[in-house]
Structure 1
Amino acid sequence: MLDHVRTEALFVSDLQRSQDPTVQVIRDAITTTVSRLGEHGCAELVAQEFGEHPDCAIGRMRWARSAVRLAFAA
């Protein structure tokens, strides 16, 4: 799975930054979200959030991107 798909999946997942999730929790949230929505479904919800709440979406996307880098660092 590509990092941009992982990032979008984490962005639209129910996981919150305030939960201080572990690497495994981040990975599980991504897998669950992609299984539930599919890659295209995740992308659609990201676009919707940026359209409706751009001020909040930017911060969440930054968090999602850095969390994916941490969770999948090799």
Structure 2
Amino acid sequence: MMTTTELAQVLFATALQPSDRLSPYQIRAAVDERLCACGGDPDWCAAYVAQEAGDHPERYVVRMRWALDAVAGAYAPAAA
């Protein structure tokens, strides 16, 4: 099981944008697709995120905040 932070790093590494109106299903599908493209290695996504944070710190903060919020909603347990 991956943490919210790990899932957010994977989502961050996708082409999806914060301005996209995405369903939880679309977010989970994008995370799964990116993980498959990386051979199932979330460390690749973490390295990409680190590079983006260094290269574009002003955009990193906004995108990571979006990614964290998006995966928190998409992977939230269903209400009983």
Partner of 2:46: 43
Which protein has the bigger helix share?
Answer: 1
Q: Tell me the TM-score normalised to structure 1 length.
A: 0.94
Calculate percent identity across the aligned residue pairs: 36
Q: Tell me the TM-score normalised to structure 2 length.
A: 0.87
| Partner SS state of residue 21, structure 1 | coil
Q: How many residues align?
A: 74
Q: What stretches of structure 2 of length at least 5 have no aligned partner?
A: none
Q: Once superposed, which parts of structure 1, at least 4 consecutive aligned residues long, lie more than 6 Å away?
A: none
Residues 1-74 of structure 1 aligned to structure 2 (within 5 Å): 1-37=2-38, 38-74=41-77
Q: What stretches of structure 1 of length at least 5 have no aligned partner?
A: none
RMSD: 0.8
